[in-house]
Amino acid sequence: MKKPPRIRWHAVVFLAPAVLVYSTVMIFPLFNTLVLALYTRIDQERVFIGIDNYRRLFTEPVWADQFWNALANNFWFFVIHMLVQNPIGIALAAILSHPRLRFAALYRSAIFIPAILSFVIVGFAWKLILSPIWGVTPSLLDAVGLKFLFAPWLGKEEYALTTLALISVWQFVGIPMMLIYAALLSIPEEILQSGEIDGITGASAFWKIKLPLILPSIGIISILTFVGNFNAFDLVYAAQGALAGPNFSTDLLGTFMYRTFFGFQLQLGDPHMGSAVASAMFAIILVGVCIYLFGIQTRLRRYQM
């Protein structure tokens, strides 16, 4: 007779605190937000209205214009990080992993330091640096004869979002660099030596041997970039304020949700519509992660096999 499986109480004891904390700070707030989006407040009473808040968010001009504008800005913010930050991070990791490079540890530390700085510090610092009145950028460009290139990049609608995205790239390029650097160091030396015997060295070794082996790490970096960018809020708020000026040109889903939920200036806060925006953000991120897990990651595994 087969004995029933024993309950491993030691595993339950060790996992219970983590599950409790995670449920308290993540699962319960998320569930509460999803539920809150299904209600509205009428005459100081909470009334169930189903998905009507989502209908208003996606179709009524007063909400839809801001939502689709913020969503489009978020996609552009993400695209810049994917096309600029991650390739630069991969290139830096490839350079700094070269065994003959001197002071590589110093360079890695210098590049990674901005990633640990506060968003508030970075936002206000770059706002001062790029200021046309008291910033140092006009003087620096003038010193090299390029002052004609200067413009109030944070004050023009066509430049502001791209400028903030590049500032974010400067701050966080150290993260993909370190992740790729660790992946490159984990490549067995025997594989590289076998490539050298076949005449694959230098840049060819990176493209033909190292890059295929670090594709899973690049995939992880891509999904982390996606999630991080669609949760972005702090840098825009620190540099441009809750109104994400000029004329909402730097408005992201995070700043839009903040204004909707808490209110700002003449706009009254509406927790129910704010929860609808937050739920929409969660759905977008969830879809992106699922596409990665069930699409891209599966193909990467097949490629490795």
Check residue 268 and give its pLDDT.
82
| Entry pTM | 0.88
Check residue 300 and give its pLDDT.
59
Unique residue bearing structure tokens 């891209």: 296
Domain ranges in the chain are: 60-304
CA 9 and chain centroid, separation: 38
- State the CATH architecture for 60-304: Orthogonal Bundle (1.10)
pLDDT surpasses 70 at 304: no
Contacts of 297 (CB under 8 A, 6+ apart): 216, 219
pLDDT surpasses 60 at 296: yes
Closest by Cα among 75, 70, 73, 84 to 259: 70
Average pLDDT over residues 93-120: 91
The span from the CA of 164 to the CA of 123, in Å, is 9
pLDDT digit string (tens) for 45-81?
Answer: 889 998 999 999 999 998 999 999 999 999 999 999 9
pLDDT higher at 264 or 4: 264
pLDDT surpasses 60 at 297: yes
Instruction: Return the percentage of the chain with pLDDT > 90, whole number.
Output: 52
Average pLDDT over residues 73-90: 96
pLDDT digit string (tens) for 149-193?
Answer: 888 899 999 999 999 999 999 999 999 999 999 999 888 888 888
Average pLDDT over residues 262-282: 89
